[in-house]
Amino acid sequence: MSEIRRILDEINSFLMQELWMDFEVIQYTGNELVIMGNIDISNPHDIEIIFRDVFFISMPMEWKTDTSITVLEVVEGQPAIDLNKKFQVEQGYHIFKFIPEDYDKDFGCFIAAKGINYKRKRM
């Protein structure tokens, strides 16, 4: 779990340097989900977030975020238990949550996966 927290810290640190970030699901192949983040749709994307060994996904295909707050986190405690029961998540998976803008505060973009990584496309 410490490796996942480190990666989330790096992703959130990068995102918090931007005024906003728009996200889009760009690929799901062989249990790998790739989400692209971009501040300007006319330019190549700024970051790819890759979830590996995906168990479930519950999110819109595109959303905006407010980067002044944490954008991506691991769900823990009772909310994780509730999602585990609802989606029958198998042991060994982590539930990740993007915090989208313009949605109810209880809404989240959820992904259950065993791992996460990222590629910064712009430095």
The reported pLDDT for the residue numbered 70 is: 92
DSSP label of 30: T
Length of the chain: 123
The reported pLDDT for the residue numbered 122 is: 61
The answer to whether residue 47 scores a pLDDT higher than 70 is yes
The reported pLDDT for the residue numbered 105 is: 74
Helix, strand, coil content of the chain in percent (nearest 5): 20, 40, 35
The reported pLDDT for the residue numbered 1 is: 73
